[in-house]
Amino acid sequence: MTSNDAAFEQLITDARLWASQDPDPATSAELTELMELAGSGDAAAIQELGDSFNGTLQFGTAGLRAALGPGPNRMNRVVVRRAAAGLAAFLTETVEAASPGTRPRAVVGFDARYNSDIFAQETAAIFTAAGIETFLMPAALPTPLLAYAVRNLDCDGGVMVTASHNPPQDNGYKVYLGRHAVSESGRGSQIVAPYDAEIAEKIQAVGALESIELADGGWTVLPTSIASDYESAMASLVDREHFPARDLKIVLTPMHGVGGETAVSVLNAAGFTDVTLVAEQAQPDPDFPTVAFPNPEEPGALDLALAAAAESGADIVLANDPDADRAAVAALDPDTGAWRMLRGDEVGALLGAHVVARLTASASDEPHSGVFANSIVSSRLLSRIAAAAGYAHEETLTGFKWISRVPGLIYGYEEALGYCVAPGLVRDKDGISAAVLIAEFAAAAKAEGRTIFDTLDDLYLVHGLHASDQLSIRVADLGLLDAMMNRLRVNPPEAFGGSAVEVFTDLAEGSDALPPTDGLLYLTRDLTRVIIRPSGTEPKLKCYLEVIQAVESAAELPAARQAARTSLDEVLGDVREALGL
């Protein structure tokens, strides 16, 4: 017998054992069929089987996220049961250390993806069996509502079963920590290091599957009032006194996700009553049939919404991703006469400026307090907006788990369409509360006979035109990401877009301001910035580019835009060359 034969026999043995213990008849049957195909020599089945058992799905700062299917390297009931048991042990131990004798509390939510409800119910059963006071969401609801509930119910932990905007075949397990587990600024935020490693260690220590106890009942299914409480809280964010305009025709798409009903309810309660859902994408559908990829950032994802907006004469398009923690905005660009989606950095700046305007309108003469924040890969424009208004600003690592933890946070965003406009209520990105404030500033602009693009131009005239772009390189082999990063470390580029690199920072070394992370930052003489990093959730390398053009008058804006686009194209070419593409 060759080593290959021995490895295959071991693979089949492992698969048979898994199938015999799998509590889910669907994945057990799927695995049995896969083994039969692999045994007959089917190359695709052999590869799929090998990948499904190629190690164990790792728990990290994004929790768990992978394709559904049998085996330790997929999302399934076995993997979720072990994760729930490990998390229960972590919460029990952490709460006991912080407040001896206190019973831990946790809340579990889920979206409408395949198996989300089952994963959530079994998590609730395992938490309850472990002695945790457990609350289960009453239906498939948005991720921000789960983040809201962690704070609102004063819980120690929270779980959201969702894969957000990943492909239909995926699901995930997102973890939040609360009262006794973290400091106040992190209460209700997603986990960060070292909590991820500590939870992973507890998961690793879980014994045999049959040793995991599931309660028959005893958890509390929350009343639907938890959703109405969230809706009321988000609707009350509007400033009717200083921004009373409500004349705004909105087309909204929840992208086949769970945010549609909640978003419409919140917008209506906030006074925006002319809201039309994109009919083909209005109801939750785990197959996401009208989009190639259920992410508003992806080409074509907003085509139906833009067509509906053009046909109905809408003022603005709002889009949420399937779990509604992100928000996208599109409007008719007066420069081109065509509808276009704004970049995340553009919306981030507009929201930041609007938050400043709201604070200014209602502020006393006391010194400004509070902090604006965005991830390091997001535009530098927000820092200039905050500084001009007298507010502090911080940059964080990529990911809302870092942004939401900034002490004194007033507003935070990341370029990937994530915005936190009410950190006291939802300590995470929230596409629904963001949509409310987007509608508020869009209606205010319309009332003055202007557009949101005019508002954006006002910011450029004061702070300079900040233009950004991205390059994403998807790979089949994760080892290629390390190879590309190593290539850049060994042969760092000397210039981008004809401007010499003056600052090169290897983010893996960390600093006083930022913990270590795998990424490279370049800053050139003309303030062009390039950041290159592996994605934390997908097998791809992400490159973030930003150029700044000084603008002294509105008449210069068209030329400045053209110059910025030319510069970005040149920088893109240099990045591709540096990566050997």
Name every residue whose Cβ is closer than 8 Å to that of residue 205 and which is 6 or more positions away in sequence.
86, 89
Q: Which two tokens stand for residue 425?
A: 């209520």
- Average the pLDDT over 61-82 and give the result: 95
Q: CB 577: neighbour CB atoms within 10 A? A: 10
CA distance 169 to 75: 10
Per residue, what are the HEC states of 425-456?
A: CCCCCCHHHHHHHHHHHHHHHHHCCCCHHHHH
Q: Which two tokens stand for residue 73?
A: 């390297």
Residue 1: is its pLDDT beyond 60?
A: no
pLDDT digits (tens, 9 = 90+) for 41-56: 999 999 999 999 999 9
Q: What is the largest CA-CA distance in the chain?
A: 83
Least confident of 70-84, 244-258, 399-413, 470-484: 470-484
- Average the pLDDT over 6-28 and give the result: 92
For residue 277, give Cα distances in angstroms to 188, 234, 280, 308: 30, 19, 9, 9
Domain ranges of the chain: 1-54, 58-223, 229-339, 344-461, 465-578
CATH architecture of 58-223: 3-Layer(aba) Sandwich (3.40)
Long-range contacts of 385-391, Cβ-Cβ distance < 8 Å, separation of 24 or more: 385/349, 385/352, 385/353, 385/356, 385/459, 385/463, 386/352, 386/356, 388/462, 388/463, 389/356, 389/359, 389/360, 391/356
pLDDT digits (tens, 9 = 90+) for 297-335: 999 999 999 999 999 999 999 999 999 999 999 999 998
Pick the CATH number of 344-461 from 3.40.120.10, 3.30.1300.10, 3.40.50.2300, 3.40.50.720: 3.40.120.10
For residue 576, give Cα distances in angstroms to 30, 247, 543, 565, 570: 41, 46, 10, 17, 10
Residue 567: is its pLDDT beyond 60?
A: yes
Tally of helices (H runs) and strands (E runs) in the chain: 17, 22
Helix (H, G, I), strand (E, B) or coil at 181: coil
Q: Are residues 395 and 514 in contact, defined by beta-carbon separation less than 8 angstroms? A: yes
Q: Residue 367 has what pLDDT?
A: 62
Token pair 């299917």 in the structure block, residue = 69
CA distance 119 to 331: 38
Q: Are residues 311 and 265 in contact, defined by beta-carbon separation less than 8 angstroms? A: no
Q: Residue 2 has what pLDDT?
A: 45
Q: Which of 116, 164, 468, 567 is catalytic?
A: 164
CA distance 250 to 245: 14
Q: Residue 539 has what pLDDT?
A: 79
Least confident of 243-252, 358-367, 455-464, 476-485: 358-367
**Count, residues in the chain:** 581
355-370: b (≥16 Cβ within 10 Å) or e:
bbbbbeeeeeeeeeeb
Q: Residue 366 has what pLDDT?
A: 61
**Which amino acid, one-letter code, is at 521?**
L
Q: Residue 365 has what pLDDT?
A: 58
Instruction: Please give the mean pLDDT across all residues of the chain.
Output: 94
Residue 262: is its pLDDT beyond 80?
A: yes
Instruction: Assess whether 362 carries a catalytic annotation.
Output: no
Pick the CATH number of 229-339 from 3.40.720.10, 3.10.20.30, 3.40.120.10, 3.40.430.10: 3.40.120.10
Residue 4: is its pLDDT beyond 80?
A: no
Q: Residue 313 has what pLDDT?
A: 96
Residue 26: is its pLDDT beyond 90?
A: yes
Q: Would you give the DSSP letter of residue 68?
A: B
Pick the CATH number of 465-578 from 3.40.1410.10, 3.40.50.1220, 3.30.310.50, 3.20.20.60: 3.30.310.50
- The phi and psi torsions of 465 (rounded to 5 degrees) equal -75, 115
Q: CB 191: neighbour CB atoms within 10 A? A: 26
